[in-house]
């Protein structure tokens, strides 16, 4: 984290059942930026990450039938969202159970479009702009 801060580079972190620990660590580095990769936690945690300046990235688990993540994603602003595949894991529906691949990011974006009630093109533009801003592309 210190190196990323010194080099003005974004951090990518995966939080699994460690919300408070991750939030504590992130709060120790107020000038960092980055993304909560493969987000799977609560709306409250997502909002705290966003308040600290981080993006939230959703993977194929957003599309799973009994997932709580669509309810979370629906409440988050488009200007803080990213999409990903988490290859080779978490293939989105309709490819669940098969090895994931980058081309399946579209299914995640389609689900975000559905829960936000916007066209896929809106999600594509927003997440592209967000990735460009975060990674300095």
pLDDT in tens, 43-96: 999 999 999 999 999 999 999 999 999 999 999 999 999 999 988 988 888 999
Phi, psi of 109 (to 5 degrees): -65, -40
pLDDT at residue 108 in the model: 98
pTM of the shown model: 0.95
Say how many Å lie between the first and final Cα of the chain, rounded. Answer: 21
Q: What is the CATH number of the domain that holds 90?
A: 3.20.20.140
Element (H, E) at 58: strand 55-58
Please say whether the beta carbons of 59 and 79 come within 8 A. Answer: no
Structural domain containing residue 84: 2-135
Residue carrying the six token digits 């409440």: 75
Q: How far is CA 62 from the centre of its chain?
A: 10
Question: What would the two tokens of residue 99 be?
Answer: 């090895």
Q: Is the preceding omega at residue 101 within 30 degrees of 0, hence cis?
A: no
Count of domains in the chain?
Answer: 1
Task: Give 34's pLDDT tier (boundaries 50, 70, 90).
Answer: very high
């Amino acid at each position: 984290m210190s190196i990323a801060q010194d080099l003005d580079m974004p951090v990518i972190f995966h939080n699994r059942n460690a919300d408070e620990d991750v939030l504590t660590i992130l709060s120790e580095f107020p000038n960092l930026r980055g993304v909560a990769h493969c987000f799977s936690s609560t709306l409250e945690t997502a909002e705290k990450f966003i308040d600290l300046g981080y993006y939230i990235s959703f993977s194929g688990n957003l599309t799973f039938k009994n997932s709580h993540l669509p309810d979370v994603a629906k409440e988050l602003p488009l200007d803080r969202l990213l999409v990903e595949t988490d290859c080779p894991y978490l293939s989105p529906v309709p490819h669940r159970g098969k090895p994931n691949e980058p081309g399946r990011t579209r299914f995640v974006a389609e689900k975000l479009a559905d829960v936000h009630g916007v066209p896929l093109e809106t999600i594509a533009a927003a997440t592209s702009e967000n990735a460009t801003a975060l990674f300095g592309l």
